[in-house]
DNA sequence: TCCTAAGCGAAGTGATGACTCCGAATATAT
DNA sequence: ATATATTCGGAGTCATCACTTCGCTTAGGA
């Protein structure tokens, strides 16, 4: 691939992430304009709009997976688990698209996104198990409901009108539920 | 208004609720077809698609408000609060539109929907206060975060793939957090 | 430097969907 | 029963958007 083509591909992805971050209903022209390329260039790199959306989704899921993996290597398992939860919800609070990505992670269309979603869930699952072994999270919680809570909290955060204090109090209540029953 | 006109208005609203329940991106033609009327008839009763959506949203919010008011008159305040929570989440689990309605309730466009949203939140707020007075819900929880949790749980429920056991375990964790700290 | 294949952008194309126009149909008051 | 004002339905219109075509440009090897 020629150097200018690679550059454009990067620019398009970056622009798409920003544009679709606001609304996935945005047009391909908008992405092209923000990227500073022609429409045809967008379609040359991503043959359909769905494939472009998929690429953006995959990127986001991979980043979340990396964050989880990074935290897993860190200090306290309990801290790592809640830290990840915090970070995801914080991001989702300002970017609706992240929340949507989480929902889509379960039943993602397309091979790349599906795999990225699976890896992210896998990494989050490991954070959960370690936190449970350390006693920071109740042992009777299973992955599906904890993931559902992550998705829900992300959506709930966007409903707070971006009020950080409300968001933190919401999470405090949720975390009380997730912690080990005495 | 002529009797046939009123009939059609009803039919259109019912059809719209069903069609937009699947996706708000559905076309007005779909609504007209399901209602068994011409497209023009839909637009005569609801001049724009947004107004039609608004009417559906208002209807849903009013129903939720009625449910809350009904439960408030019932027996135990704690039971009433969690019962409402259960019902809303259960409905949202099968109808994504309800979850969206909850989100929109905060910043609804249009006068009718805005007011219906406010009334629903008001009714839910009363359930919360009573439950707190009775000691069933922790006293330090304020309305905004509890509402955010309701919105979040509704969204989370749709992410469980409609698995009722997962949904119930998710709610159990959440309710543990909402109950009075001893 | 020059050649050429890879890449580019702007002007299409066709489909879709919100919304309108107007002649036909019909409810209802007399 | 009849008149007429109201309502109806389907065939438009117009804008938007995903996607294509094609003549021009340019990167980068010889």
Q: What are the tens digits of pLDDT across the range B45-94?
A: 999 999 999 999 999 999 999 999 999 998 899 999 999 999 999 988 77
Contact in structure between B57 and B113 (CB atoms under 8 Å): yes
Closest residue by Cα to residue A163 from B114, B147, B157: B147
Instruction: Write the CB contacts of A162 (distance below 8 Å, at least 6 apart in sequence).
Output: A93, A94
Nucleotide closest in space to A44 (CA vs C1')? C7
CB spacing of B173 vs A138 below 8 angstroms: yes
Residue of A59, A67, A138 whose CA lies nearest to A97: A59
- pLDDT for B10: 97
Angstrom distance (rounded) from CA B174 to CA B72: 21
Cβ neighbours for A164, distance < 8 A, ≥ 6 positions apart? none
User: What is the reported pLDDT for B106?
Assistant: 75
Distance A48 CA to D18 C1' (A): 8
Q: Report the pLDDT value the prediction gives residue B69, as an integer from 0 to 100.
A: 96
pLDDT > 70: percent of chain B? 99
CA B32 – CA B28 distance, rounded (Å) = 6
Whether A179 shows a pLDDT value over 90: the answer reads yes
Alpha helices of A23-138 — where are they, by DSSP H?
28-35, 39-45, 49-73, 77-94, 96-106, 111-133
Query: Can you tell me the distance from the alpha carbon of A105 to that of A62, in angstroms, rounded to the nearest whole number?
Result: 11
Percent pLDDT > 90 in chain A is: 79
pLDDT band at A182 (very low <50, low <70, confident <90, very high): low
Torsion over CA of B101, B60, B120 and B47, rounded to 10 degrees?
80
Interface test with A, best of B145, B147, B161, B163 (most A CBs within 10 A): B145
């Amino acid at each position: 691939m020629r150097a200018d083509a690679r550059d454009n591909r990067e620019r398009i992805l970056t622009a798409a992430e920003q544009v679709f971050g606001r609304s996935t209903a945005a047009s391909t022209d908008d992405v092209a304009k923000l990227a500073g390329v022609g429409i045809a260039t967008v379609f040359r790199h991503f043959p359909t709009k769905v494939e472009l959306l998929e690429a953006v989704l995959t990127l986001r899921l991979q980043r979340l997976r990396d964050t989880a993996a990074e935290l897993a290597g860190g200090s306290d398992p309990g801290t790592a688990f809640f830290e990840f939860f915090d970070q995801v919800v914080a991001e989702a609070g300002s970017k609706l698209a992240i929340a949507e990505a989480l929902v889509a992670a379960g039943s993602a269309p397309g091979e790349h996104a599906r795999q990225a979603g699976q890896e992210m869930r896998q990494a989050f699952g490991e954070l959960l198990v370690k936190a449970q072994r350390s006693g920071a999270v109740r042992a009777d919680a299973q992955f599906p409901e904890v993931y559902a809570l992550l998705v829900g909290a992300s959506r709930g955060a966007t409903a707070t009108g971006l009020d950080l204090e409300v968001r933190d109090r919401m999470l405090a209540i949720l975390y009380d539920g997730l912690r080990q029953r005495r």
